[in-house]
Structure 1
């Protein structure tokens, strides 16, 4: 199956969020999101867990990503990702998987209290069931992260307000045999691009955080 990208389109937000207050990630926001995510049961047969990491970076609500090391094997080396990986038999559930992988990649210990809840699972082209776990890890500067150099080349942040702007957020349409096949979001960072499953998770998190404001290209993303 051959898929190729078509035109990158932009202007997906209905309102300007550039003036998002620094205290946006309040208990009110957290409780609302926890109530919605509590409706998502953990799948019995998850393949991998990914921690969709919210944080405060330099006083501003942001996403935290890792730039995967170019030393890694596989097709995703050098990609921008959220911390995560395959489930292990020692993990109690997929939430433990996401927290364990975040600890291994970021060099920090995170408790389950940082987790807001599981988002809807994503099944990739290989059949793996990947569960995004939304979490707020707090002030990035206070965490003193020590990324694992074998897996992580550097840490990257994206302000939540900027993620919704037309200069950062767009989408790519894919064609198959000359016809439209599907559309995926993309987010542009300085020198890097957030695409694929990571962009889908980012898009779904923004839909949850900004209901009625953020316009997703993913069907059903608003329900999380």
Structure 2
């Protein structure tokens, strides 16, 4: 059964569990930060995702991601980076007090540090968002109930030099496949929000060079 992670007690529990990491990581230098928007769509708790524009430069164009991007020198910390990027990409202004905390950082193949920031954005009408067409091709939400069903979960095994190297989770059967670091962040989020309902295949995915 899906726990009531959006209740006052659920929020308190998550904030308490994230407090240590938030204090330790919030002001630590990082290359990028993303917002993990916990929202309510048609009465159901969900996570909000974007599909990056295929016109963007770089390796991650056309990928599913959470709103976010590179840390700017003018940003106070990673929380402000995540909130600023979300506003720029989606036209969604999230008050800082809605931030629950900082999740475990993830690292790409070049060891670039990406810090996920969890925030509750409340009831959300996707049609009300104003995505920046230069950066975002699509916006969609996946209900927690969908993400927690084992039939929608998978894993991809990667090889380097002809040998098994690492495994990453994949979330299937939504509008777009959620994979890569976004899937890892999704897994971390589900472990926090629904520890009894989510049973990852691996206790913790082994990240490339991580």
User: What TM-score do the two structures reach when normalised by structure 2?
Assistant: 0.89
Aligned CA distance change for structure 1 residues 218 and 147 (closer, same or farther; 3 Å): farther
**Does residue 45 of the first structure (1) align with residue 29 of the second (2)?**
yes
Secondary structure in structure 2 of the residue aligned to 1:192: coil
Aligned partners of 1:80 and 1:56: how far apart in 2?
20
- Which of 59, 80, 96 is the aligned partner of 2:43? 59
Gaps of 5+ in 2: none
Aligned to 2:138: 154
Secondary structure in structure 1 of the residue aligned to 2:172: strand
User: How many residues get paired?
Assistant: 202
Aligned partners of 1:155 and 1:88: how far apart in 2?
24
- Which of 82, 85, 88 is the aligned partner of 1:98? 82
Aligned to 2:17: 36
Q: Which is bigger in relative contact order (C-alpha 8 A, separation at least 6)?
A: 1
Aligned CA distance change for structure 1 residues 74 and 218 (closer, same or farther; 3 Å): farther
The Cα of 1:202 is off from its aligned counterpart by 0.2
Gaps of 5+ in 1: 1-16
The Cα of 1:181 is off from its aligned counterpart by 1.9
Aligned partners of 1:83 and 1:141: how far apart in 2?
16
Aligned to 1:8: none
- Which of 57, 62, 66 is the aligned partner of 1:82? 66
1:31-58 Cα deviation digits (max 9, x unpaired): 1000010110115221111101110011
1:152-195 Cα deviation digits (max 9, x unpaired): 11111111011011221111122334443221100014452100
Aligned partners of 1:31 and 1:97: how far apart in 2?
24
